Chain A
Amino acid sequence: SYVLTQPPSVSVAPGKTAKITCGGNKIGSKNVHWYQQKPGQAPVLVVYDDSDRPSGIPERFSGSNSGNTATLTISGVEAGDEADYYCQVWDSDSDLVVFGGGTKLTVL
């Protein structure tokens, strides 16, 4: 089955740029979606189809995808961005949805 690999944690100072990676075999050929989840809350879609943003999501959130790695980039990180972030794809070969293990973003 298809596997997505994320780093367990990423730390960044306020105002700096955070990059959260999501690795998978030929992930560049798939559409990657990213979710933000704060403690006690449901996930929120922040990037879909590699690099598109839903309405209401700040431009500070962006995404890219190529080769074996997709990346969520958060520019000008704020304290309120501290959360768990999950990448997700649909594996068309198996008709299954796959999530990465999640990355805890800590704002120093």
Chain B
Amino acid sequence: EVQLVESGGGLVQPGGSLRLSCAASGFTFSNYDMHWVRQATGKGLEWVSAIGTADDTYYPGSVKGRFTISREDAKSSLSLEMNSLRAGDTAVYYCARDGGGGNWSFDLWGRGTLVTVSS
């Protein structure tokens, strides 16, 4: 079955760190760009990071310098290292597969993992 499964979410104090993981299965992971997208409760979608097949990385200003995306193709695994966490980072974090074609659509999503930043 083609799927993405996130893990690693939880409760963390402001200023703390957390590492999210995403396990891919059912497709050739190394052939795809991958993304993280988050959603605060009751809010819209916010793109968090992307990594290309050549390990090129991309971030919006809201997380640049604090978050690091990485991939391990041999294990079909995607990670997001999050540092200096703030209350505003509280959200469900989704792992998403890029649809290809260079236009950055997301054709496969995981079910998400909840990150709560609170003291």
Contacts and interface: CB of A to CB of B under 8 A. Distances in A.
B105 interface: yes
Contact of B103 (A41, A90, A98): A90
A54 B108 CA distance: 11
Given A42-B112, A49-B101, A102 B106 contact: no
Contact of B104 (A54, A97, A101, A102): A97
A101 B105 CA distance: 17
Given A86-B45, A88-B105, A98-B47, A42 B94 contact: yes
Interface of B: 35, 37, 44-47, 50, 58, 60, 94, 99, 101, 103-107, 109-112
B92 to A, nearest CB: 9
Interface residues of A, number: 23
Interface of A: 31, 33, 35, 37, 41-45, 48-49, 54, 86, 88, 90, 95-102
15 contacts: A33-B99, A33-B106, A43-B106, A45-B99, A48-B99, A86-B45, A88-B105, A90-B104, A95-B58, A97-B35, A97-B50, A98-B47, A99-B45, A99-B46, A102-B45
Contacts of A35: 45, 106
Nearest to A44: B109
B76 to A, nearest CB: 19
B63 to A, nearest CB: 11
Contacts of A37: 45
Contacts of B60: 96-97
Contact of A49 (B45, B105, B109): B105
Contacts of A33: 99, 103, 105-106
Contacts of A90: 103-104
Contacts of B111: 41-42
A43 B45 contact: yes
Nearest to B44: A102
